[in-house]
Amino acid sequence: MDKKYVIGVDIGGQTSKIGVVDARGNVLTQSVIRTDTHDDVKLYVKDLGAAIRLLASQVDGGIEAIRGVGIGAPNGNYYRGTIEFAPNLKWKGIVPLAELVSKEIGLPVKLTNDANAAAVGEMTYGAARGMKHFIMITLGTGVGSGIVVGGYVLYGHDGFAGELGHTIQVRNNGRLCGCGRTGCLEAYASAVGVARTAREILETTDRPTILRDIPRDSITSKDVAEAAAKGDQVSIDIFNFTGRMLGAALADFVAFSSPEAIILFGGLTKAGDLLKKPVVEAMNENLLAFWKGKIKVEFSELNESDAAILGASALAWEL
């Protein structure tokens, strides 16, 4: 039987999204299971297997028409098919997840980290179709990255290449990052970073802003974006600061891989030109002369509601 579908699984700290995807990038059917209620990974794998079999039964040909499964996961190691020391998952140490899932459902499985999965998805279905050299930057709770060189994701010798969110941007008195170090890009250019910038401004200045109508500890990047869209100058300045911080970092990233484009993905991109304009300006200001104006900065073309599944599923076409 023609293997015309793949399964994509996106594992998050709270839930896992699962979907059946065809060769055109259509998510035909999908479901969600809890991740955080499974202290034992073997019980999680049983529930995941049941969800995969149920979804497969809903498409023409059933499980026999499924080519394989792609999984995007935090701290996922492409080479080993393992999740290694993921701080936001209950399964500690090194978990051989690809092997466990393959045994459970009888299909081949590939696994990588979520940002690399997003890069593969963009190259297969989205804005990077036809590109051989690009960098995917995911702007969510943190800052992730997937680096594509010559049409292949760069994994490095150990499977963990591409932690650009943890490059140091502020050497002295930088913000504490979730990784335990200080000054990381993630501490500034993520959704959490935007909220931190807002709180710092409210604490250290008396500038008028509608953000003062929100309890300080409850402010989110969405609140800042909505205020900026209404013309709130403080919120506009927050996105300008964030965008310029990210743009300067992108100039450094260009220097080591000379990409055709940098694709921005994730919730923070909903701010649109509020974010993109300062990113592009700061990047070009900091690029060497022969790169200025040559590197495209684009938003992801993946459907937001399906993006995580699509990114993971793209891995399975390699099987």
**Do 32 and 164 sit in the same domain of this protein?**
no
**Average confidence score pLDDT of the chain:** 94
**Residue 7 and residue 55 in contact, taking contact as beta carbons nearer than 8 Å:** yes
**Do 263 and 212 sit in the same domain of this protein?**
yes
Per-residue pLDDT, averaged over 101-123, amounts to 94
HEC sequence for 106-132: CCCEEEEEHHHHHHHHHHHHCCCCCCC
Number of structural domains the chain divides into: 2
**Do 12 and 65 sit in the same domain of this protein?**
yes
Instruction: Give me the percent of the chain exceeding a pLDDT of 70.
Output: 100
**Do 258 and 185 sit in the same domain of this protein?**
yes
Per-residue pLDDT, averaged over 239-250, amounts to 98
**Do 80 and 166 sit in the same domain of this protein?**
no
Closest C-alpha to 249, from 287, 221, 277: 287
**Do 150 and 251 sit in the same domain of this protein?**
yes
291 Cβ contact list (under 8 Å, min separation 6)? 254, 258
**Do 157 and 260 sit in the same domain of this protein?**
yes
**What's the pLDDT tens digit per position in 156-180?**
999 889 899 999 999 988 999 988 8
**Do 235 and 289 sit in the same domain of this protein?**
yes
CATH number at residue 280: 3.30.420.40
- Containing structural domain, residue 311: 5-123+305-316
**Do 26 and 108 sit in the same domain of this protein?**
yes
Per-residue pLDDT band at 1 (split at 50, 70, 90)? low
**What's the pLDDT tens digit per position in 12-29?**
888 999 999 999 999 999
**Do 69 and 185 sit in the same domain of this protein?**
no
